[in-house]
Amino acid sequence: MRMKVLVVLSAGLVAALAIAVSSCTEAPPAGAPPAGRPNILLIVADDLGDSDIGSFGGEIATPALDRLAEVGLRLSNFHVLPSCSPTRSVLMSGTDNHVAGMGTMGEVLTPEMEGRPGYEGYLNFQVAALPEVMRAGGYRTYMSGKWHLGYEEETGPFARGFEESFALVPGGGSHWNDRRPLSPPQTMLYRRNGQVVEELPEDFYSTTYYTDRMLQFIEQSQEDDRPFFAYLSYTAPHDPLHAPKEYIDKYRGRYDQGWEVLREERLRTLKDLGIVPEDVVAFPWLDSVEAWDEMPEEERQMAARDMEVYAAMIDYMDEQIQRVFDYLKEVGEYDNTMIIFFSDNGANGHPQTAYPGQTEEHMGSFDNSLENRGLRNSFIEPGPGWSQASMAPSRMFKAFTAEGGIRTPFLVKLPGEMPNAGTMNHSFFHVRDIMPTILDIAGLEHPTEIDGREILPMHGSSVLDLFAGNVEAPSAEVGRVGYELFGLKAFFDGDWKILSMPPPFGPGGWELFNLREDPAEVNDLSAEYPDRLAEMIALWEQYKEANGVLDVEFALGQ
């Protein structure tokens, strides 16, 4: 069965110095940092699918991240927002995106949203940005990569607490130095410590350059005894898909059998790893995904190349992450560093036409021949076929509040040796819990005011005990999370989820799912459990009221 879907929208997460850890003769508890506060390395991929890395079922070479999984913890039930800047607003604030200023993406603000609190289109000033709190608490603060939380200098990373930053300001664009944007209205603006970068090196490639800058930032402070908070925010594997040719060649022929075969391979591995139940049924293929065997040979070659480039981007990113790990080990900081890795949303199944202001002239200006796909002056994307494979067995992909848009892989390594190293936890937790957890391990309190402005409290909770293996599951409150983006809605309460997506993406009303038994959201239980459905709808209405969520209709595909 195939569901017909036309997809057009896409785009593209204390004030005082902390009290020093008291010395004692007893060994610290499991998961606790050694004497002195730990470094924090936060690595975020862009549009990476849930099953793309090896430790989460993928065939792509990711030895650095796979090794991180061996010495750390995998969490299979981590959730983000459906799109990049809303996720990043929650990551950087610990609050709901409607509170932090990204009730919708800045690129798609509608007249009814303009001037409304929580819909500023940038990380607003009623929340404390994570780097502001870390810096006030005595941490060195570094950022390299994608920001996407404010276009102006006063809303950029340098103004919001990063003392060293090299930032791509908007949501994406060319990974080379030509600065070709996603669509004509957009500009590929880079800033270095708030100042516009006028020229990029001739050999610029985003993943390499972001890594180089981060290593530079960390290295220059080695004589400083303060710990660092480093945010390494890659744009891989966001479209346009670009990678060095030798890495593309590495995957030549790997995907010639098509997306149906790849999804079956991934799903089999996910079951073997225990990430999904053995009897799980994948969400049906969308009507927009053509059967591989029915496609003309030339189209199959083009599509296979697209996935080869996508895999190459992830492979290369993993190699660059290894450079950072190697350097931390070389200078003796790796063991005292908390490392977190995840993706900002699900894989991107949308076409080039998705970007606001897109034109046929812009799309037609690229050389997307088979020989040039993935190289300079090309613009290709994974599309719905490969994205459904990357999000196996989930429903939909990026931009949707279905599981395919909001479930991503999560890895964490705590300082020291972890007693639960190499294991996997299936407890639900959310991107809003990352900031409270980082403040917890750093020994910092969330401020009530910063730089003279009053600050709203965080919504998330620390899950440090979960990471350390001290508890099997966090509190029930961690599992209660509401969603609204682009008019698509959801609410989680533990294993239960309600979902509302208008036709053609859903039935138009609320659906009810038990995700432990049905992570692919295939079996709607609303008729079977009407009381449970009513309870959760009431919880979503409370969420809507508490967070200033507007009633907006946003039809994807129009």
CA angle 357, 361, 364 (to 5 degrees): 115
Q: Which is it for the CA torsion 469, 472, 474, 480, positive or negative? A: positive
* Per-domain boundaries in the chain: 2-14+39-114+122-478
Q: What is the pLDDT of residue 56?
A: 98
Spans of the chain, pLDDT less than 50: 1-35, 557-558
Catalytic residue among 84, 242, 430, 446: 84
Closest CA to 166 of 212, 128, 226: 212
- Residues 109 and 117: their CA atoms lie apart, in Å, by 13
- Residues 420 and 398: their CA atoms lie apart, in Å, by 31
The H or E element containing residue 84 is helix 84-91
Q: What is the pLDDT of residue 548?
A: 96
Q: Is 426 a catalytic residue?
A: no
Q: What is the phi/psi pair of residue 161, to 5°?
A: 115, -10
Q: Which is it for the CA torsion 10, 489, 402, 411, positive or negative? A: positive
Q: What is the pLDDT of residue 556?
A: 58
- Which residues, in sequence order, are bridge partners of residue 142? 164, 230
Catalytic residue among 79, 98, 148, 459: 148
- Which residues, in sequence order, are bridge partners of residue 492? 481, 497
- Residues contacting residue 24 through CB under 8 Å, at least 6 positions apart: none
Q: What is the pLDDT of residue 1?
A: 37
The H or E element containing residue 245 is helix 245-250
Closest CA to 51 of 291, 464, 392: 392
**Beta-carbon-side half-sphere exposure of residue 555 (alpha carbons within 13 Å):** 6
Task: Return the number of other C-beta atoms located less than 10 Å from residue 222's C-beta.
Answer: 11
The CATH classification of domain 2-14+39-114+122-478, taken from the options 3.40.1030.10, 3.30.160.340, 3.20.20.60, 3.40.720.10: 3.40.720.10
Check: CB of residue 386 under 8 Å from CB of residue 262: yes
C-alpha pair distances (Å), 326 with each of 144, 234, 269, 322, 533:
18, 18, 29, 6, 50
pLDDT in tens, 436-494: 999 999 999 999 999 899 999 999 999 999 999 999 999 999 999 999 999 999 999 99
- Residues 476 and 502: their CA atoms lie apart, in Å, by 29
- Residues 557 and 56: their CA atoms lie apart, in Å, by 31
- Residues 82 and 485: their CA atoms lie apart, in Å, by 7
Q: Is 84 a catalytic residue?
A: yes
The H or E element containing residue 490 is strand 488-493
The two tokens of residue 203 are 């050999």
- Residues contacting residue 301 through CB under 8 Å, at least 6 positions apart: 370
The two tokens of residue 208 are 């390499």
Cis peptide leading into residue 504 (ω within 30°): yes
Q: What is the pLDDT of residue 554?
A: 63
Check: CB of residue 425 under 8 Å from CB of residue 75: yes
The two tokens of residue 556 are 């994807």
Task: Return the number of other C-beta atoms located less than 10 Å from residue 97's C-beta.
Answer: 32
User: Residue 82 gets which letter from DSSP?
Assistant: S
